[in-house]
Chains A and B, each alone.
Chain A
Amino acid sequence: MATTGGLSFPDDTTHLDPRAFDRWQARRRWAKAGLIYAVMLAFAIVFIGPILFAAVSSIKTDPLEYPPSLAIPQLQPKNWSASARLGAAGAGDRLFGGFAPGAVVPFEITYFVREGLDVTPPEVVVPRRRPGAGPGAVLAMDFAADYASVGDLTIVRRQPSLADETGAIPGELVTFAFTVAYVGEGPTTERLPLDVTAEVGMTYVDSTITASRLERRGRTASFENAAPGVLGYVFRNYVRVFNEVRTPATRQSLFLVWIGNSFVFAFFRIIITLLLASMAGYALARLRFRGREAIFMLVLFAQMVPLQVLFISNYLVLRDGIVSIDGFKLSTLWGFPDGMLNSLTGLLFVTALNAGAVFIMKQFFESIPREVEEAAMIDGASHWRRYWSVVLPMARPALGALTIITFQGAWNDFFWPFIVLTSPETMKTLPIGLLSFRNIYGGVGDWGLILAGAVLSALPVIVLFVVFQRYFLEGVSFGGGKE
């Protein structure tokens, strides 16, 4: 027996027991698979780790928590069931919660009280709380505080305990119960914030749902929403992304508008790219005409010129609506009297043509045997017919790859939308919208909302990749030197 890399194999393979040989081969296969999987896992951790960390942080109340902890209240099943219960009590909505007329929300909070200290009921307040930044800080809103009434606190449990963070200090765990009731008629408010402030010496231990934050050096337990519903609790930052950022005038959810714009932009860009790139690719691959080589070189050249070189001239073209003569802009003819800035049409105009896509399609068409077309030619098919009915259907894999690459490019495109779409807010695409998020909320340290928005914007591309990864890889191989 000799060994290589920890695997032993028989020296003399001629007199081999076939079963031993099979076993040896099986071991080898497993070792290979193990190695490959280990390498892939390492890659996955390196690449997916940051996304995963962002996703986990995005549900935290304080995503900047340092050092970061994995004991996240939002991930504890105990809080899920409690928040669903509270949501049902607050507004009959187990998912998103709220505070509606007639609601009575029961709540419990437990403190550790040192031996010898009087047990004083903590002070419970429903504060008037509004967002610190963004449109939410300015737009008129309803406050739960105007309708809420906090009932008396009663002690429901007392239990001797030794447990305290600082060591074995004797004392007891005291649980207080109270209700928050909606008095009278009024609007349903989105949330019911709650502040519970205890005497110095009482240590917060637990409550119906875990406190959002402890303030005043541990004295005040603050709850963002005491009637959140399970989604409202776990995905609070996500709910805020949709609810809090609205246009001042029409109260439309800006994030939804941005998602819509991004989809529209991506859709039309895909359609235009597929159509133009496949036609151009076909012409360059199959038609013989004077200057074909030169045009192909031009296409390649266009791909080599960096965007930054062209953007000023292209910006001016958009501003002037192609060309402006004595103040009359040519784009008036198709409905843009003020030029084509700040319109998705203008954006498509400068981004939809893609030399790389033409190149991919040309390469693919060249790989289709000529005989297929010659057969169609004998049947009397014109160039157009051959392109549309014969070659294009055969190019489905290339078109699929192109679709995905184009979608990803359009969805993530930042540079052009940033230049072209400056106002109004409702004209922006998602990446530019996320930049406004950063400006609005980054300044006040409200990163939860920004992270939630970023994770949401990454979702379509992640889903796309998981579902269509085969096409992604094909796209890469078409782009490479496949004959």
Chain B
Amino acid sequence: MRTIALFILGAALVGGAFAQSIRIMGYGGSDPAILVRLLDEVVGAQLAEEGITVTYEPLEGDFNAALFNALSAGTAADIFYIPVETAPGIIATGKVLPLDGVIDTSQFIDSLVEAYTVDGTVYGVAKDFNTLAIHYNIDLFEEAGVEVPNENDTWETFADKLRGVSALGDDVYGACFPAGWDRFGAFAFGAGWQPFDADGRSNLQDPALVEAVTWYTDLVREGVAVQPSDIGQGWTGGCFATDQVGVAIEGAWILGFLRDEAPNLQFGTTSMPIGPSGERGNFLYTVAYGVNTDSPNRDAAVRVLEALVSPEAQQWVLEQGLAIPSRTELADNPFFDEGTPEAEANRIVFAGADDGNVYGFQFGRIGTEWMNPINSALVEIMTGQSTVDEALSGAQADLDIVMDRVR
């Protein structure tokens, strides 16, 4: 009798120890639905067998603000998203578990691992990523009698093609160029500019940056490219959907938008043009999973993280057309060669991660505030309020104040 009672007690204890609930905090939007399907169809059964249940908590609004709140209130989940642009700040809170020796990150794209490495320690595993690519409107290029952009284009040949398209009429432009670092920066990298020197300072008077700014803003002043707001749009994708611009420089996120707003637009995708440095420039936009150091179920959390970025999970996410995976081995996945414009766009964006001068969309511990002086400078130049030199020296002064403050 007694043994049976002990046995039952023991079983209950073991069962209790294994029934662990792991919370994940991430973006809203379609992410909750993706995670539920990923759990249902791929990794959930295995985790359930191990006694782990997973719940997803989307943080709406400003994710970074909400995450910092949750971290300081002690309500942050066991696993949370770490957006690349605020990664250094989040890691600096000390609430992110170092993953060295916990998870093998050698199978992931190097530049993605690097974006989450601080002082040689890895803190996050990128769940998926995006880079920029040239999406072009086939109808417009055909109508203009201009060859569509291709991977051999340099800045000059690319600009000439845009000029050809913008010659179609007053309401047609070669491209939409927003006055923002988040798109322009790729061209700065293409010119060979590095945003931070060895001391962590930024030099806006660097000839490479001046060259990129001049090229980018000249196309707008010339009337070949247009700012989105000038044709009543909020972003490049909006311009593209109206058939008014030849190319849009965006990531794979434009695909969902086009499906909704311009489902019949005939588009193709190619790599960013080759810059004066002889290399393409590109951004890495990504978000990683990180484990909360305060998690009461740290081992289970690590286990969930492993499952979510496992080859099976990533392959499923890719084949469903939901996101671009961060594992190198998926480069040869047959999905990329399906021949549809969407698959092709995904392939180009995937390849963009290690083609040329690629940097994470990141600003050290300064955060996104770093972009503001450059963005205002771009607006001033594009609208003709000041010259390139004036605007950049003004921006340098503003940026120095920001950088001194963080220091």
Q: Interface residues, chain A, CB within 8 Å of chain B?
A: 62, 64, 66, 127, 129-135, 137-140, 193, 195, 197, 213, 215-217, 219-220, 222, 248-249, 315-316, 319, 341, 418, 422-425, 432, 435-436, 439-440, 443-446
- Chain B residue nearest to A222 (CB atoms) is B264
Q: Which residues of B contact A64 (CB under 8 A)?
A: 232, 238
The CA of A424 and the CA of B58, in the complex, are separated in Å by 8
- In the complex, the answer to whether A425 meets B243 with C-beta atoms within 8 Å is no
Interface set, chain B 299-326, CB cutoff 8 A to A:
320, 322
| CB atoms of A139 and B37 under 8 A apart | yes
User: How many residues belonging to B are interface residues under a CB distance threshold of 8 Å?
Assistant: 43
Tell me the smallest distance from the CB of B37 to a CB of chain A, in Å: 6
- Chain A nearest Cβ from B44, distance in angstroms: 11
CB <8 Å contact, B243 and A217? yes
- Is A341 touching B75 in the complex (CB atoms < 8 A)? yes
Contact A446 B260 (CB under 8 A): yes
- A sample of 29 inter-chain contacts (CB < 8 A) reads A66-B232, A129-B263, A132-B255, A132-B258, A132-B260, A133-B256, A133-B257, A134-B29, A135-B30, A135-B32, A135-B33, A138-B30, A139-B37, A215-B243, A217-B143, A217-B243, A248-B33, A248-B35, A248-B37, A316-B73, A319-B74, A425-B58, A436-B28, A439-B61, A440-B28, A440-B29, A444-B256, A445-B257, A446-B261
Closest to A316 in B: B73
Contact of A216 among B57, B264, B322 (CB under 8 A): B264
Give CA–CA (A335, B111) in the complex, Å.
48
Contact A439/B259 with A217-B139, A422-B57 known, Cβ cut-off 8 Å: no
Query: Apart from A134-B30, A216-B139, A443-B253, what 16 extra A-B contacts exist at CB < 8 Å?
Result: A132-B256, A132-B258, A132-B261, A135-B30, A213-B262, A215-B243, A216-B243, A248-B37, A424-B57, A439-B29, A439-B60, A439-B61, A443-B257, A444-B257, A444-B260, A445-B241
Q: Which of B140, B243, B264 contacts A197 (CB 8 A)?
A: B264
Q: How many A-B residue pairs have CB under 8 A?
A: 116
Give chain B's interface residues, CB within 8 Å of chain A: 28-30, 32-37, 55, 57-61, 66, 73-75, 139-140, 143, 232, 234, 237-238, 241, 243, 253, 255-266, 320, 322
- CB pair B57–A133 under 8 Å, yes or no, is no
CB B312 to nearest CB in A, in angstroms, measures 18
- Complex Cα distance, B265 from A222, in Å, reads 11
| Chain B residues within an 8 Å CB radius of A425 | 32, 58
- B253 partner residues in chain A, CB cutoff 8 A: 443
**Cα distance, A80 to B361, chains bound together (Å):** 49
Question: Which residue in chain B gives the minimum CB-CB distance to A65?
Answer: B232
Asked, given contacts A435-B61, A439-B60, A445-B237, whether A131 binds B34 with beta carbons under 8 Å apart, the answer is no
Q: Which residues of B contact A436 (CB under 8 A)?
A: 28, 58, 60
Q: Report whether A445 and B262 are in contact in the complex, using a CB–CB cutoff of 8 Å.
A: no
Most buried by A among B29, B74, B257: B29
A195, B30: Cβ atoms closer than 8 Å? no
Are A216 and B256 within 8 A (Cβ)? no
Taking CB atoms, residues of chain A closer than 8 Å to B255 are 132
The verdict on A439 contacting B261 (CB below 8 Å), with A137-B256, A248-B33, A319-B73 known, is no
CB distance from A197 to the nearest CB of B (A): 7
Interchain CB contact under 8 A, B30 and A440 = yes
B151 to chain A, nearest CB (A): 25
Partner of A132, one of B57, B66, B232, B257: B257
CA distance in complex: A133, B30 (Å): 6
Contacting residues, chain B, for A215 (C-beta < 8 A): 243, 262-265
Chain A residues closer than 8 Å to B74, beta-carbon distance: 319
Chain A residues contacting B238 (CB-CB under 8 Å) are 64, 445
Q: Which residue of A lies closest to B27 (CB)?
A: A439
Question: Which of chain A's residues have a CB closer than 8 A to the CB of B234?
Answer: 445
Q: Which 7 A-B pairs have the closest CB atoms?
A: A132-B260, A248-B36, A423-B57, A132-B256, A138-B33, A135-B33, A66-B232
Chain B residues, Cβ within 8 Å of A139: 33, 37
Alpha-carbon separation in the docked complex, A195 to B58 (Å): 36
Q: Report the minimum CB–CB distance from B130 to chain A (whole Å).
A: 13
